[in-house]
Amino acid sequence: MSGRPLFIALLALAATACANVTAYPTPDPAIATTPTESAPTPRERVAAFLESCEKWDEWDKPAPPFQILGNTWYVGTCGISAILVTNPQGHVLIDSGTESGAEIVLANIRRAGFEPNDVRYLLHSHEHFDHVGGFAKIREATGAEILASSVAAEVLRNGLVSEGDPQATSLDPMAPVEVARIVENGEVLKLGDLELTAHATPGHTPGALSWTWTACSNPGEPPVCRRIAYVDSLSPVSAEGYRFSDHPDYVGAFLTSIDRVRALPCDELFTPHPSASGMIENMRTGKIASCTDYAAALTRKLDERLAKEAAQ
């Protein structure tokens, strides 16, 4: 028997099969034919950021994301930091910016080439609306679990600044959000081979946390690893009428926090307000911010504040 009738039969079957697959979506010619835009290089991303942002900038001014090193990205606005630490097991986002800034942060996560859905944990610096005001929005968009210090957890859950906060009477409420778990000082958050360590650094607020981890260059790049420290504001700012000197325990904790910052594993410092560590200036000049310089500046600021209060 010749193979021909079988061949024709197979063709007929193939035609039927083809007819059956028309239910699958046909490729959208607009997407299929558009050449994929190649991702900008790290250098181009930094240049784009510097083009968008001045040394001192508003909290909600959009800025493009840039890669700090390897798994670590800046996804914040010009004036408020948000840090994405990426990992095949899920990403970690530290800080959200303000409620409207959170939209910029989410867009930046996508622009950097990542999916907001893959953000597994949302962490904080200090519990004020300019850094955690967008938590409810980010949580809704990503499903990420929020981990917080015990004081910050209270603030996040009820949306109200805590009574012990030096700025308690001068700040607006925030959208309340569910907190999954409390983190303690020194606790290590593990995700695959990523380890982020929490450091309690009360001072600017009672619930403030700082975070450290190691970032290494991507394969194919010159091999380099740096210990990154994202350290809280620790500035002695208060509402009208509050005196730090009336709260010696709080000042004691503040001083302990500054000592802690000085001793952090820290090759490169970032801060929730980029200007506090001169980030934009450093990006222009190639300087790397240090935790010891930062600790010295914080000590000076606190001393000045206490001296001013003593003189009043």
Residue ranges in contact with Zn ion by CB under 5 A: 130
Q: Which of 74, 90, 155 is nearest to 122 (CA)?
A: 90
Q: How far from 202 is each of 166, 195, 234, CA to CA, in Å?
A: 11, 22, 7
The residues carrying an active-site annotation are 126, 128, 130-131, 204, 242, 273
Q: 72 with 56: CB under 8 angstroms? A: no
- How far apart are CB 188 and Zn ion at their closest, in Å? 26
- Judged by CB, which is closer to Zn ion: 92, or 276? 276
Which of 130, 268 has the CB closer to Zn ion?
130
Q: Which residue has the tokens 């190639």?
A: 286
* Length of the chain in terms of residues written: 312
Q: Are 264 and 212 in contact (CB under 8 A)?
A: yes
- Burial-class residue 11 by CB neighbours within 10 Å (0-12, 13-18, 19+): exposed
**What's the burial of 120, exposed, middle or buried (CB within 10 Å: 0-12/13-18/19+)?**
middle
Question: Could you tell me the smallest distance in angstroms from the CB atom of residue 281 to Zn ion?
Answer: 19
Nearer to Zn ion, 116 or 134 (CB): 134
Q: How far is the CB of 98 from Zn ion (least distance, A)?
A: 10
Comparison of 200 and 215: residue with beta carbon closer to Zn ion:
200
Helix (H, G, I), strand (E, B) or coil at 9: helix
In the bound state with Zn ion, the residue whose beta carbon lies nearer, of 129 and 244, is 129
CA distance 279 to 271: 8
Taking the C-alpha atoms of residue 234 and residue 7, their distance in angstroms, rounded to an integer, is 79
Distance in Å, CB of 205 to Zn ion, minimum: 9
Residue 203 CB, nearest approach to Zn ion (Å): 12
